[in-house]
Amino acid sequence: MASKLCCLLTISLFLVLPYFTSPSLADVSPAPSEAVTPGTICKSTPDPSYCKSVLPNETTTVYNYGRFSVRKSLSQSRKTVNLIDNYLNKYRSSLSITAIRALEDCRFLAGLNMDFLLSSFKTVNSTSQILSPAQADDIQTLLSAIITNQQTCVDGIVSTASAWSIKNGISVPLTNDTKLYSVSLALFTKGWVPKIRRKKRKAAAWETNSKQLGFQHGRFLMSDRTRSIYETVSRRKLLQTTNDSSDEVLVSDIVTVSLDGSGNYSSINDAVNAAPNNTNGVNGYFLIYIMAGVYQEYVSIPKNKKYLMMIGDGINQTIITGNRSVVDGWTTFNSATFAVVSPNFVAVNITFQNTAGAIKHQAVAVRNGADLSAFYSCSFEGYQDTLYTHSLRQFYRECDIYGTVDFIFGNAAVVFQNCNLYARLPMKGQFNAITAQGRTDPNQNTGTSIHECTIKAADDLASSNMTFKTYLGRPWKEYSRTVYMQSYMDSLIDPTGWSIWDGTFALSTLYYGEYQNTGPGSNTSSRVTWPGYHVITNATDAANFTVSTFLLGDDWLPDSGVPYDGSLL
């Protein structure tokens, strides 16, 4: 994972909120409709001094300040793209391949930021009132992801030790951009987000423990070949027609991938390229059925391939594998075997691997930056940094995740439910940390929620004669937020539960919580005594991290057909 950077923002002021949230500054008075000076409104931001330096010197409402800040952020994101492009064009021949890859990551992420800021500005420019919980969550998610994208870029540059000129010429202005984006997020949270911004919007009729997906074909005319494919998949109980129209999952088209040439395509990337661009999902998902086989290819699903669904023949049957690693010159970000940033992505019955091994350190199997994405009955296999839950809103159900150091990491708003988390045998001198959550700003709506899962040792660790410590997580960034709820923890979990990152870094600003877990590793009597660690005793507090509340999952998961439990057991 990226280098041990401390958060770029210095937080000197925060409110003491109910303990199920991390410190946030957006609830500082005054009311959104009140006209105030920049000095007053900037008290609602992480860095008041910087905030005052960028806002106009006039007395107005948080809505006008927020619009100004988001507009300025959008303008700055365009400048960032140009800065990186110019740097690559001017210095590419003199840079190492690792430095080039770090800059290319930055270019990619800066492009996403432009899109997110444009969407955000359209919303804040259209209204001066508190939004509905769903609308507010959409924009707060985008503004949170912008900061994450920027931090990922800076981390990649800083870890490129040989490129001093890059650090000096790019990371410094990017650091200032991060502060600006933080102001935009804080002002949006202050003005547009309701006090209770996550609320169950409808009954979770899709809550189920079923292992089957309730898929319906949808409304399109099938060719004989497509119908044959559909019926074949249906017989495998991956797609199932139901009589209840409310349980339909619409599929607009189906293509197959097969290594033996019997499908429409022999590579997954070719099938992805064939998917339509920028669909709105009205006609359903573009379904790629990947037949059993070992697919040795690096798959990257771009932002324009929306409403894409991939279904394999099962864990250890359909396997996508690669072996890129940081040791071999890749950044953590682009070491992923499988990467996705397209909204509303769904994957079912697939194994994703990075086989670089523990000796190659950071080596990602899947990097997910896809909003409203879901993985169901999938396996993620690696060692250090197996699953990069990078950003935006994500859900994982009945999945297996294997790894050693920080093997679930990132800064998404993510819930794992009914999953198996397997700690593997690390290298000598290492310890296992299941999570490394990367929240850098107190107003980001991000965090890792592990609900109804099982935490055990993988076979290699269980059978080893060596002793290794395994922790629930450690704070990668200053506002790291992770909770374990109603999960089974086997005896491999160290009694202290959680590990430091570096000295006392983040121990008072993080939020780590445990609620009603079971098993020999769940005893909290010897847990860490950090200010940010909590044994949650109130179900109302724990409910903040459920699918229905933390992800507003009732609004989007039913369309995917992936089963979920919206609330606590």
Q: Which residues contact 506 (CB under 8 A, 6 or more apart)?
A: 7, 475, 477, 478, 479, 480, 532
Question: Residues with catalytic annotation?
Answer: 406
Rounded Cα–Cα distance for residues 441 and 420 (Å): 29
Rounded Cα–Cα distance for residues 306 and 319 (Å): 23
In degrees, rounded to 5, the angle at the alpha carbon of residue 369 between the alpha carbons of residues 365 and 374 is 80
Closest-CA residue to 444 (of 379, 488, 510): 510
Q: Are 521 and 490 contacting, i.e. CB atoms less than 8 angstroms apart?
A: yes
pLDDT-based confidence at residue 161 (cuts at 50, 70, 90): low
Q: Which residues contact 234 (CB under 8 A, 6 or more apart)?
A: 240, 241
Rounded Cα–Cα distance for residues 339 and 365 (Å): 8
What whole-number percentage of the chain has pLDDT above 90?
A: 78
Rounded Cα–Cα distance for residues 334 and 105 (Å): 7
Instruction: Answer whether residue 197 shows pLDDT above 50.
Output: no
Token look-up 């949006």 returns 188
What's the rounded mean pLDDT across residues 72-98?
92
pLDDT digits (tens, 9 = 90+) for 44-54: 999 999 999 99
**What domains sit in the chain, N to C, each tagged with a CATH number?**
35-192 (1.20.140.40), 213-351+372-379+393-400 (2.160.20.10), 404-561 (2.160.20.10)
- What is the pLDDT, as a whole number, of residue 311? 95
Q: For residue 308, what is the enclosing H or E element? A: strand 308-312
Rounded Cα–Cα distance for residues 289 and 181 (Å): 40
Pairing, β 351-354 against β 379-381: parallel
What whole-number percentage of the chain has pLDDT above 70?
A: 84
| 3-state SS record for 264-288 | CECCHHHHHHHCCCCCCCCCCEEEE
pLDDT digits (tens, 9 = 90+) for 258-305: 999 999 999 999 999 999 999 999 989 999 999 999 999 999 999 999
Instruction: Answer whether residue 118 shows pLDDT above 60.
Output: yes
Rounded Cα–Cα distance for residues 371 and 560 (Å): 13
> How many Å separate Cα 91 from the centre of its chain?
32
| 3-state SS record for 82-115 | HHHHHHHHHHHHHCCHHHHHHHHHHHHHHHHHHH
- What is the pLDDT, as a whole number, of residue 219? 33
Rounded Cα–Cα distance for residues 533 and 527 (Å): 9
How is the beta sheet containing 387-389 ordered, strand by strand?
Answer: 299-301, 338-340, 366-368, 387-389, 405-410, 432-437, 470-473
Q: CA dist 327 to 157, 239, 359, 410, Å?
A: 16, 41, 9, 20
Closest-CA residue to 119 (of 73, 164, 161, 82): 73
Residue type at 177? D
Instruction: Answer whether residue 13 shows pLDDT above 50.
Output: no
pLDDT-based confidence at residue 414 (cuts at 50, 70, 90): very high
Rounded Cα–Cα distance for residues 68 and 485 (Å): 40
Rounded Cα–Cα distance for residues 310 and 368 (Å): 14
pLDDT digits (tens, 9 = 90+) for 227-256: 455 455 444 334 443 444 445 678 889 999
Rounded Cα–Cα distance for residues 53 and 146 (Å): 21
Rounded Cα–Cα distance for residues 528 and 149 (Å): 31
Closest-CA residue to 440 (of 385, 405, 481): 481
Q: Are 266 and 253 contacting, i.e. CB atoms less than 8 angstroms apart?
A: no
Instruction: Answer whether residue 195 shows pLDDT above 90.
Output: no
Look at the pTM and tell me if it is higher than 0.75.
Answer: yes
Q: Sign of the CA dihedral 501, 506, 511, 517?
A: positive
Q: Which residues contact 568 (CB under 8 A, 6 or more apart)?
A: 485, 486, 539, 542, 543, 546
Q: Are 548 and 200 contacting, i.e. CB atoms less than 8 angstroms apart?
A: yes
- What is the pLDDT, as a whole number, of residue 2? 47
